[in-house]
């Protein structure tokens, strides 16, 4: 089975064992070539290490304690709790629950987005979930 120049180039550049000339690749380099086998083994080992590291990071993330929410006013904290509620309340529903105008809810959203440097509803939900506000 022959390997194309791009595949060989990727393998050799990852491996660091010297790139072949394009003319060598056009003749067709075999997967049985010892140099190619060496590079494939190194690539397989690197990918295995990467996958192991990613699994460890994901396990650590799943078992991480929620971050402590910062000091928020009562209204902003209630807004964040309702925003992160599993029933996915709309801003209109949040305003009705809080007993405030819809523009007040938008103001809470705007100020919290600015304060924590996030964009929009999804950013605030992610932030609130990391604080453990989602029930």
pLDDT digits (tens, 9 = 90+) for 5-16: 556 566 566 565
Per-residue three-class SS string for the chain = CEECHHHHHHHHHHHCCCCCCHHHHHCCEECCCHHHHHHHHHHHHHHHHHHHHHHHHHHHHHCCCCCCCCCCCHHHHHHHHHHCCCCCCCHHHHHHHHCCCHHHHHHHHHHHHHHHCCCHHHHHHHHHHHCCCCC
* Domain membership of residue 95 as a residue range: 74-130
pLDDT in tens, 38-95: 777 877 878 888 888 888 887 776 666 666 777 889 999 999 999 999 999 999 999 9
Residue 67 lies in a domain: no
The residues that bridge with 47 in the sheet, in sequence order, are none
Q: Is residue 58 part of a domain?
A: yes
- Residue 26 is predicted with a pLDDT of 44
> Does 95 map to a domain?
yes
* 85 shares a domain with 52: no
CATH number at residue 121: 1.10.10
Is 107 a residue whose pLDDT tops 90?
Answer: yes
Q: How high is the pLDDT of residue 87? A: 92
User: Is residue 69 included in any domain, yes or no?
Assistant: no
Tokens of 31: 């997967």
Between residues 121 and 41, the one the model is more confident about: 121
Whether residues 21 and 46 share a domain: the answer is: yes
6 with 58, same domain?
yes
pLDDT of residue 48: 85
Q: Give the side-chain half-sphere CA count within 13 A for 104.
A: 13
Indicate if the pLDDT at residue 36 is higher than 60.
Answer: yes
């Amino acid at each position: 089975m022959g390997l194309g120049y791009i595949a060989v180039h990727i393998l050799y550049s990852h491996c660091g064992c010297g790139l072949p000339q394009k003319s060598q690749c056009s003749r067709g380099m075999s997967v049985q070539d010892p140099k190619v086998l060496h590079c494939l083994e190194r690539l397989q080992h690197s990918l295995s290490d990467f996958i192991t590291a990613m699994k460890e990071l994901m396990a650590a993330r799943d078992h991480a304690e929620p971050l402590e929410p910062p000091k928020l006013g009562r209204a902003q904290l209630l807004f964040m709790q309702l925003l992160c509620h599993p029933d996915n309340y709309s801003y209109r529903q949040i305003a009705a629950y809080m007993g405030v105008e819809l523009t007040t809810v938008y103001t809470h959203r705007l100020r919290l987005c600015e304060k924590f440097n996030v964009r929009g509803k999804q950013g605030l939900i992610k932030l609130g979930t990391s604080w453990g506000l989602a029930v």
